[in-house]
Copies of this chain bind each other. A is one copy, B any other.
C-alpha cells in the first residue's frame, strides 16, 4: 500500500525499508507543509516564511536584528531575506532602521503590528502543527524523529558543525 503508491519512484537500489523511509519523507515534505501553510494562510494571512521571520524576530532581545545575523540564524540567503523583508515591510509587519554602529547595514525590527500579528497567529499555528503532526505521533516517535534530524543535520553544511 504505502510503497506501491509511488509519488517519486526510484529504480530502487534501496531495500524496502530504506525506500519506504525515503519516499515517506519526500511525501511528507510535499504534503504536510502544504497543509500547515494552508492553515496559516487562512487563519492569519501569513506564509510559513512570514511566520518564521516574525517568530525569529520576536525571539530577539529587542525584537530587532541585523539582516545579516537574521539570515544566518534562519539559514536563508541574504538575497532571500532582503527581498522577503521588503515585502513584509510593505505590509507593515517589520521595519528597517539604519544600523546604530555600521553604516552599511540596517536592522530589521518588528513593528507593533508585526508583534500583534505573531502573537495572534501563534496559538492557531501551534494547534495546526499538533493536529497534523505532533499529536499523531507517540512519544517514542517524536524522540526518534528528533534524533534522526539531528544525525542528518550534523553532516550537512550550514550547520553548527
Interface positions of A (Cβ within 8 A of B): 1-2, 5-14, 17-18, 20-25, 27-33, 35, 51-52, 55-56, 58-59, 73-75, 118-119, 122-123, 125-126, 129-130, 132-134, 136-137, 139-153, 155-160
Closest Cβ of chain B: how far from A120's Cβ, in Å?
Answer: 11
Contacting pair A75 B7 (CB below 8 A): yes
Contacting pair B21 A146 (CB below 8 A): yes
Closest Cβ of chain B: how far from A35's Cβ, in Å?
Answer: 6
Contacting pair B21 A149 (CB below 8 A): yes
- In the assembled complex, the Cα of A23 lies from the Cα of B150 at a distance in Å of 10
Known contacts A59-B6, A123-B13, A142-B17; decide if A156 and B134 are in contact (CB<8 Å).
no
Known contacts A152-B136, A156-B35, A157-B35; decide if A55 and B9 are in contact (CB<8 Å).
yes
Number of copies: 2
Contacting pair B142 A141 (CB below 8 A): no
| 18 sample A-B contacts, Cβ–Cβ < 8 Å, listed by A number | A2-B150, A2-B153, A6-B59, A6-B73, A8-B52, A9-B55, A10-B122, A10-B125, A12-B126, A13-B123, A17-B142, A18-B134, A21-B137, A21-B143, A22-B129, A31-B159, A32-B152, A136-B155
Known contacts A11-B55, A74-B7, A126-B13; decide if A141 and B147 are in contact (CB<8 Å).
yes
Contacting pair B145 A148 (CB below 8 A): yes
- In the assembled complex, the Cα of A42 lies from the Cα of B30 at a distance in Å of 23
Q: Which residues of B contact A137 (CB under 8 A)?
A: 21, 148, 151-152
